[in-house]
Structure 1
């Protein structure tokens, strides 16, 4: 048989309940015995129980009550000493330590940290209250009073600590305002215009553009992919080539970007061939005549591009060859050539080495002038067309004025206003109408003769 010291908490609680139940059964049985004695007394006409019977019943009742009291006290002391005191003391001690810790926090702590600690304290206090509720009935009277006081202190301090959160909210708001101001001053100004993402330039297969494309491709590629992974660089390179170039050279079969560039260099990177093509393109430009300012501008821009491309190749001397410069001179119009020769005659240090450089300086200075001439030409052309139209209208009206005294279609009353002529509007074909309008020199907008004046109306009849 197991002793009470060997029993677990659950077993002690179960035996405590059984003991209470069994004691109740004993008391009920004692009452049944007393009732039996009373019935027996009535049967023999006795007035009351004998002293012996009363003493027996009282002794049994007192003995049961005393044993129940002793057993309960023993179980209570065992439960408290073994389990209750440790569990309740530990819960209250942990909650009290956390309360002191939270109370000692200063306003320099972040609001999030304070809220976390406060939530943790609330959970610990709740556990302490549950332990107190479970074990308070098992505690001795002297210790029960102390535990009640500790629980009450924890419940009182919790609302005060929750109210303290307002101080942390105020400090956090002030800190956010200060940091926001500092961030605004430290950040660079934000652009008002949002730029689109820059794509890598594509190569279309022109030898002349190869080295410029490669230079423009490598810089943004390194910036966009600083890790330098070979696989990424290869796919970006293939994506930057026109489909026909990659397909003709079978570039997708190579393992790295270095091998692809080697194939491209062999096909498009021969600098001597590229320089020769540039010179041939220049020599293929037809000579420019006088009165063609736009053609002159295009010639100057072609020379500048050729010079830039040759500079990329490191072969500027190809365009400075005397035969090439002589070919360029032959393409200039007579007026510009005359101005160049006059200008060159005033230069004392001109030689074969710097002839082309001085020619380019002179042409660049003339480019803005010919731009203005080209714009002026665009304004003069409409005026010439207008004058030509007026002259034609006057000639035709004078020529046919003596021959036609009225409408050449029907009634002479409306000879100046063809839109009144019913036969003109209904019976004639469009080609016949056009011939009559030209014969009379009438306005094509309003089908009316303006006596040589230009039609000032902008709409149509």
Structure 2
């Protein structure tokens, strides 16, 4: 029994020392609260909870030892001892709650609130910039970067809020949660709105591009048509000029033919007249019984026609120059004496009846 009482006394002393340690820790934190850094406050918060836990554990061991010594259950523990244990638990819980609230309030007001509100402000600013940006095909890429940046900032805001939500007062915690929720909702709505605006701008740009492409196509077709007309007109003018030159050449040729024909007929008539005269002289001499004199005009010319295949002129102006060239070439190969009668017959034979 004596040994049990000693154990109770020892446990009571341990409880007293734990209560003193807790009191010292609470007093120390309370005095230096406003000078501590964020990490120091969090560390002290954990230390206070450890000290309070030691008091609670020592108080529970003290009560258990009293029950063992009395060899009875908790309901049979003397009222005085039971009240002492309950008082210790109540005081420990109250002091722990008070100092915890003080530490959390200090942490929130000096560090947490500023950090959370800064994150909210950054996200709100990017949201407002993205909302104010007018969507077009040029600015869409920049606006898309703004929306991605906004998503990153909202994610960081959630992480910051998750870090500080345990330190924030209930009202502040609910307010921040509502701000994050609304910001997320507005961001999603803005993203859909920007996508719709971009699709609209892209459709309008596509219509403009198609219209411009059609206009360029029509202009090119008009230019090609005009060029074709110019080329056709030039070709027709060239053909008309060639036809005119051919017609002129044909008229000149016909005039030359007429002159040569008249000259050839005159020469043949002269030859026939000379020949008739010679025949008449010869007949007169024979009738007179005298020898005929030598022909003072020389020997009678004989017409020798050289067989030749002459080119035919069909009347086409495009073939005129080729025909004339072949005809003149054959003329050079004709009668070596250059008899006009031969040239006349060759020329007349080379013409078709429709040109005679």
- TM-score normalised by the chain length of structure 2: 0.48
Q: Based on CA coordinates, which of the two structures has the bigger radius of gyration?
A: 2
More helix by share: 2
Which of structures 1 and 2 has the larger relative contact order (alpha carbons within 8 angstroms, sep 6+)?
2
- TM-score normalised by the chain length of structure 1: 0.37
